[in-house]
Structure 1
């Protein structure tokens, strides 16, 4: 099974139309607001001698920070255009980047065979995946962990939808970065409240720790406050 052609084209189109300016994608928050605090939650549970794989890495902002904490950092994304962005942004060549469809179980297994058990970082991938693809995304996390890896997964909750709707109803309509998400047919925060933990459990993942957080965006509401999207985070092991 692969992702739908419509979904693939939506992401290729989005990234192809996105400039290389940091923060140009609405979710491309600086690492200090994302991978830095998230790593502090993951590292007490993780073997930091293992590689780390950043699933849905986009332009690689978080991957580059993860490369400072683990011996090898690999960012993967469905979109070829996103991987091109990530490689251009990684001027110090601290990380590796590769195109990968997380719903392609054979390709995910091949990556695991190549690098061995790995830690996983995944921020906001399940909630915007097509519903029929979500179990495969969760299964990809389990495959990459193997026996020794640990994962940090953060996903938007349905409350995020209300924040986005409020942002879209500003006096001038949606702010520019949010408008681009809608124009490319991307669907943020479409997973139901208990869907994510159920998907993770069904994939054979055990929750070691979890909590509530927000995922800061690179866009503001009409009054100038930053858009922070409600989310849940999980630290996971396979089996």
Structure 2
């Protein structure tokens, strides 16, 4: 990612700090996206695996610490975790290794890097969980173009996103429980989570170029978060954070 619509620097700062805090038991260093694979990827796989060509690599786009990537690697012959942050990739390789799994830095807004990745790996399947809402609106068309390039003609895209009602959900949750430490860390880095409606997704991946082969609405996997408290040790929130979401499985149309 590059230019004014890009948060590459913010992501590098966020994951560098996350890696620094890792292992400090007195500090809540977890990422807000650090959802156990049994609560996330395991449910996702049932929705998309049958549509994907098993001979193609599966790319976990925006892999972060690699907790989902490691699980996906147990179900696909080739899995590649990619992230725009070098610190995230280093943390993932250290924390979540798996035989046959590799991690790579990839900036999807760098056209030459995307072309080189596609030339190296060919068409790929893509797994993308709660990433679109972090892409700034003015950058979404460029983002979708890169996704299309990576998929090629045979790849399949699975995405899971926050639902339209997620904003109200977050506001009500924080009113009841306080600001989660993990969310506060994100905001302090200048990263602004948002929502992407189904209409936005369909505008990015238009019916002229993509076919929806499966979709539906579902509550997100519960995320264990910690609320702000005056004590040195954060306190577990009294309820799980599970904002509403939806999923889609899309494949390119034949030219």
Corresponding residue number in structure 1 for 2:55? 49
Tell me by how many angstroms 1:72 deviates.
1.0
**Cα contact 1:20–1:85 (8 A) shared by 2:** no
- Tell me, yes or no, if structure 1 residue 226 matches structure 2 residue 228: no
Tell me by how many angstroms 1:29 deviates.
0.4
Q: How many residues align?
A: 238
Q: Structure 1 residue runs of 4+, over 6 Å off?
A: none
- Separation in 2, partners of 1:31, 1:23: 18
- Which shifted more, 103-112 or 51-60? 103-112
Deviations 1:151-185 (A, max 9, x none): 111111231112222233346x3021111122112
- Tell me, yes or no, if structure 1 residue 154 matches structure 2 residue 156: no
1:3–1:82 CA distance, 2 compared to 1 (3 A): farther
Aligned pairs for 1:20-169 (under 5 A) are 20=22, 24-169=30-175
Deviations 1:28-65 (A, max 9, x none): 10111111111111111111121101100001111111
Corresponding residue number in structure 1 for 2:11? 11
- Separation in 1, partners of 2:6, 2:62: 17
1:75–1:223 CA distance, 2 compared to 1 (3 A): closer
Which TM-score applies when normalising by structure 1?
0.90
Unaligned runs of 5+ in 2: 228-235
Which TM-score applies when normalising by structure 2?
0.85
**Cα contact 1:3–1:103 (8 A) shared by 2:** no
Tell me by how many angstroms 1:117 deviates.
1.3
Alignment RMSD, CA only? 2.3
**Cα contact 2:61–2:128 (8 A) shared by 1:** yes
SS in 1 for 2:205: helix
Unaligned runs of 5+ in 1: none
Tell me by how many angstroms 1:96 deviates.
0.8
SS in 2 for 1:233: strand
